[in-house]
Amino acid sequence: MALYSFRLYCQRIDHTRNMARYYALSIQPTLFGEAAVVRCWGRIGKRGGEKSEVFASEMDAAVHFLELARRKRAKGYKPVGNCGNPPRSPTFSALRPRQRVERLAEIPDQP
């Protein structure tokens, strides 16, 4: 079962290009105890595409999740709201994906 919640919702809006896109990422457990990275995308207000990728461990899924999030941020997508993820810090943002996941394991549970 998942130790942490991995969810991200981003938008990329450019009025000069008539662009209004969304991209959502999450890690969800499968029926067989694996972890699936689920991504949804499309034009804001319209039904878009969806793709799921299954990983044997939550660590592998988290590394893939963070890499996909990094690519979208590089293309100009901006996170909208807080999806319950840990707070951002300069140290956390500078780490590579696998280091971030290992660092998340050190964060104590909140009461």
Give the list of residues 6+ apart from residue 85 with CB closer than 8 angstroms, or none.
5, 6, 7, 8
Q: Rounded distance, CA 91 to CA 16, Å?
A: 35
Averaged over successive runs of 10 residues, the pLDDT of the chain (111 residues) comes to 76 94 94 94 93 94 94 93 52 49 52 46
Full set of structural domains in the chain with CATH: 7-104 (2.20.140.10)
Give residue-wise pLDDT tens across range 12-34: 999 999 999 999 999 999 999 99
Cα–Cα distances (Å) from 62 to 13, 15, 28, 43, 65, in that order, read 27, 33, 11, 26, 5
